[in-house]
Every structure is written in C-alpha cells, then in structure tokens.
Amino acid sequence: MHRSELTIDLAAVRHNVRTLLRALEGSELWAVVKADAYGHGASDIAGAALGAGATVLCVATVPEALALRREFAMARILVLGPAGNLEVGLARDARLELVVSPEDIPGGVRVHLKLDTGMGRWGLSELPEPPIDVVGLMSHLATADTDAAYAEWQIERFRSATLPYSHLTRHVANSAAALRYPSARFDAARCGVALYGLSPFGTDPAEDGLEPVLSWTSHLAQTRLLRAGESTGYGRRFVAERETWIGIVPVGYADGFRRDLTGTTVRVAGEPRRVVGTVSMDAFAVELDRDLPVGTPVVLLGRGMLAEEHARVAGTINYELVCGINSSSQRARRMVVDG
C-alpha cells in the first residue's frame, strides 16, 4: 500500500478554465504552470488547460519551458522570470518567449517588456518606445488579493504608460485580478492559482466558482489507546487528559504535510478529526473518538478539505502549501483522473 495518493482531476481544471474565461469576457487566458503547476504536474495541467481554451503557457524558468516544449511542440510558452545569457540561445531555438528589459533585447526571440508599476521587483519604471521583436507589454500586481485601491492605481499607471502601444499584447492580471478587476483584463490574464481551484483570496474557492483539482488521501496505519497522561510524538506536545484513541497517518513534513499543521482538520472515515501532537518527518497523529481499522481512509486535501483552511492554521498561503507537496513516486502514488 502506498503511504499516500495524490489525485489530479483534469475535469476540474477545465471547469476552472471555463470559470476564468467567463470572468475575462473575451480576454485571453494564459495558464501559469510554473513550479510544476504549483505542485500539480505541469504537463497534465498544461494539456488540460490548452484543451479547454488557454492560449499560452507561462513558467518561471527556461528549463521549465524547455521541458514543456518537448511535449507541446506548437504551444506559445512564455518565461516570466529572467533568462541567463546562455539560456537565451536555448530559448531562441525552442521558440520560447521571454520577459526582458529594453537594454538587452536578444535578436530573434519574441519578447515581452515588463513595466514595474508598483510591485518593486522585476521590470522597468519607464517604458521606452518598444523595439521590434517586442510582442507584449506586461506588469504584475502586488495587492490584487488585498488592497483594491493600490491595485487600481497600478492598473491605471500601466494603462496610461502603454496607451500608445495598444497594438501590442498587454497583460497585467493574475488570478485575483482576473476574478475581481474588469479594468485589469487588457488582452490577456496570466492565471495560476485559480486554475488549480484554489482561491487567491484565501477563502472558499467555491465562492468564485472554482473547483479544487488536487486531492491528497492516506489511511490509518495504526491506532492506539492513550491512557490519561500518555502522549504522542516528539516533545510530548499532545498529552491525553483521559483515555483517547489516536490514529497514526503515514505522512509527514517530508511529504509536504508541514510541521505547522498541528491543530488542522483532516477527514477520517468521512468525519473531521484534529491533527494532534508534533507532525514528524514521516507521520502525524489524529485524535479519534473510537478505535478504527487499519487502512481507514484519511482525506488530507480535496473532497471538502480546503488548502485555504490548512494555510490559515499554518500561517501561510494555499500557494505555498501545494507547492510543498512531495509528489515523488518514493513518497506518494500520483493518479490523473478525468471527472
């Protein structure tokens, strides 16, 4: 038996693509599949997203793009992060598109110029006359999920700076902006987190018509009865006050079930149960109300268990949680389903 199973639902990807396309009212949807599609598996997600109407694949690095190029010979692939000198030749040969600064535009590569309208990270603060080979103008929002006034101000800066060049493809929206800011739509939106059915706002994704793509399941590998005063796990962080059944789940922080998830809820035999004690590298404990058979299913994520809720307990964001899941075949079995 595998220690845990990751299931990727491609029908949910297509549902989320349709939700985003409806919100975008005619602007293109570009699928952001960097970091192995936020831990979901870049090639499966890219195929489903393109099949459902996304028009460009976006990644962070040239190696990520080259891996996708082997599978998607014809797709447009945009590298969002900076490319090193040696990588530019590879990008040219593989017909990738790059985000560059205007001082060093490489010949023979389709490029996008990034305007820094207030993210304070990559990009230029002034836009020069875009030279030939520039196909797109872009910016990135710092607060589309939190501060509407600042986001609108960034969008307005972008609009006025790029107004003379509206023949180029202008793109600024991420998932949060695609869902909430009609003014941010321009020609295309670069959406990541929402494709995976995760909320950019940290709320229930169903509120925005999104369906989680990933589910993560395991089982009880052992149960035991703790007497009053007995404890489970490192540091004795959970001490039973009275006789308490606990179950041991063979998943830990090496699998991406983070150490700060103590106190979150998973579903054991369909019922919500609390994670107790210290999460260790390869196992964690849940509090039960009775003895249950070894092999009883435990749902960690998906099927009603929200990444947003785990993220709240861990003091992080759903993005970081899913990117951290270890999908290596030595740790988990990965399955792709369709509906």
Residue 114 falls in the annotated catalytic set:
no
Q: How would you class 53 by CB atoms within 10 Å of its CB: exposed for 0-12, middle for 13-18, buried for 19 or more?
A: middle
42-52 helix and 62-71 helix, angle to the nearest 10 degrees: 60
Q: Per CB under 6 A, does 32 bind ligand PLP? A: yes
The verdict on 191 binding ligand PLP (CB under 6 A) reads: yes
Q: Which of 268, 212, 209, 249 is nearest to 39 (CA)?
A: 212
Tell me the closest approach of the beta carbon of residue 271 to ligand PLP, in angstroms. 32
Of residues 64 through 103, those in contact with ligand PLP by CB under 6 A are 80
State in angstroms the smallest separation of the CB of 193 from ligand PLP. Answer: 4
Binding mask 113-152 for ligand PLP (x = CB under 6 A): ---------------------------x------------
Residue 319 CB, shortest distance to ligand PLP, in Å, is 7
Nearest partner of 191 among 204, 209, 172, 215, judged by Cα? 172
Q: Is 192 in the site for ligand PLP (CB under 6 A)?
A: yes
Q: Interface with ligand PLP includes 199 (CB under 6 A)?
A: no
Q: Does 169 bind ligand PLP (CB under 6 A)?
A: no
Instruction: For residue 174, state whether it binds ligand PLP (rule: CB under 6 A).
Output: yes
What values do phi and psi take at 301, rounded to 5? -150, 145
Choose the binding region for ligand PLP from 16-24, 61-69, 184-192, 212-220 (rule: CB under 6 A).
184-192
Which one, 29 or 288, has the nearer CB to ligand PLP? 29
- Give me the catalytic one of 34, 38, 181, 319: 34
Give the interface segment with ligand PLP, choosing from 85-93, 102-110, 173-181, 273-281 (CB under 6 A). 173-181
Contact between 205 and ligand PLP (CB under 6 A)?
no
Residue window 259-298: x/- pattern of binding to ligand PLP, with contact defined by CB under 6 A: ----------------------------------------
Beta carbon nearer to ligand PLP, 140 or 185: 140
Q: Spell out the long-range contacts of 313-321 with Cβ–Cβ below 8 A and sequence spacing 24 or more.
A: 313/260, 313/261, 313/263, 313/264, 314/258, 314/260, 314/261, 314/264, 315/260, 316/258, 316/260, 317/202, 318/193, 318/198, 318/199, 318/202, 319/38, 319/192, 319/193, 319/198, 321/256, 321/258
Main-chain phi, psi angles of 164, to 5 degrees = -70, -15
- Which residue in this structure is represented by tokens 């399955």? 335
Q: How far is it, in rounded angstroms, from Cα 24 to Cα 1?
A: 44
How many amino acids of this chain bind ligand PLP (CB under 6 A)?
A: 13
Distance CA 138, CA 191 (A): 14
Nearest to 184 by CA among 199, 192, 174: 174
150 catalytic residue (yes or no): no
Minimum gap (Å) between residue 235 Cβ and ligand PLP: 35
Catalytic residue positions, numbered? 34, 234
Q: Summarize as ranges the residues that interact with ligand PLP (CB under 6 A).
A: 32, 34, 80, 140, 174-176, 190-194, 200
